[in-house]
Amino acid sequence: MNSADNVVIHGKEWKQSDVKEQIEFCLTKKWSLANFKKPNHDHCEICWWTLVKTEDENHSVGYTDGYRWLCRECYHQFIESADSRFASNCPA
């Protein structure tokens, strides 16, 4: 497998084609940083990282659109970086 066709999320290698559709969908949403406070758990829309109410910020802090969740790593790697690329290409 060509490493150029892969991305690393939480130390695991993923094929870009396996997460491309989820990333494109997530780019259409507005995300806000939040603490996970539900009594159960949820998963990152891109990598299925578990988000749960806990003291461990790696699992208790993420980004939400009010319904769905992204882990911080996926948000920074795919959403924030896409937003900054878009902003840098916009004329002033």
SS3 assignment, position 44: strand
4 part of a folded domain:
no
Residues with Cβ within 8 Å of residue 49, at least 6 apart in sequence: 9, 10, 43, 59, 71, 73, 74
Tell me the residue range of the domain where 80 lies: 25-89
Provide the domain count of the chain. 1
Q: Is 60 exposed, middle or buried (0-12, 13-18, 19+ CB in 10 A)?
A: middle
pLDDT category of residue 83 using cuts at 50, 70 and 90: low
Tokens 């959403």 belong to 79
6 part of a folded domain:
no
pLDDT at 84 over 90: no
Q: What does the pLDDT look like over 16-27, one tens digit per residue?
A: 999 999 999 999
pTM: 0.84
68 part of a folded domain:
yes
49 part of a folded domain:
yes
32 part of a folded domain:
yes
Q: What does the pLDDT look like over 52-80, one tens digit per residue?
A: 999 999 999 999 999 999 999 999 999 99
20 part of a folded domain:
no
74 part of a folded domain:
yes
Let me know how long the chain is. Answer: 92
80 part of a folded domain:
yes
